[in-house]
């Protein structure tokens, strides 16, 4: 089973950038997403941003993951 994690977009440089959540920062590939900007939340799967999510939905999911 694979899990996509909601993360906040911190930096974008072309198709690459950085995302953060829960004190972790990771490299991300944004090639599958064209309409994102810093501050948006995305689902990160295997290093790729695969979907945009609403901020409140992202925060709730991150909270549930921490509780596990």
> CA of 63: how far to CAs of 5, 15, 53, 57, 59, in Å?
11, 28, 15, 10, 6
Structural domains of the chain ordered from first start: 5-67 (2.30.30.140)
pLDDT per position as a tens digit, 12-65: 999 999 999 989 999 999 999 989 999 999 999 999 999 999 999 999 998 888
What is the value of pTM for the model shown? Answer: 0.89
């Amino acid at each position: 089973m694979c899990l996509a994690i909601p993360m906040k977009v911190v930096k974008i440089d072309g198709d690459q950038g950085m995302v953060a959540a829960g004190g972790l920062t990771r490299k991300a590939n944004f090639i599958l997403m064209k309409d994102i900007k810093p501050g948006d939340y995305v689902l990160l799967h295997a290093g790729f941003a695969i979907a945009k999510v609403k901020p409140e939905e992202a925060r709730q999911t991150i909270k549930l993951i921490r509780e596990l």
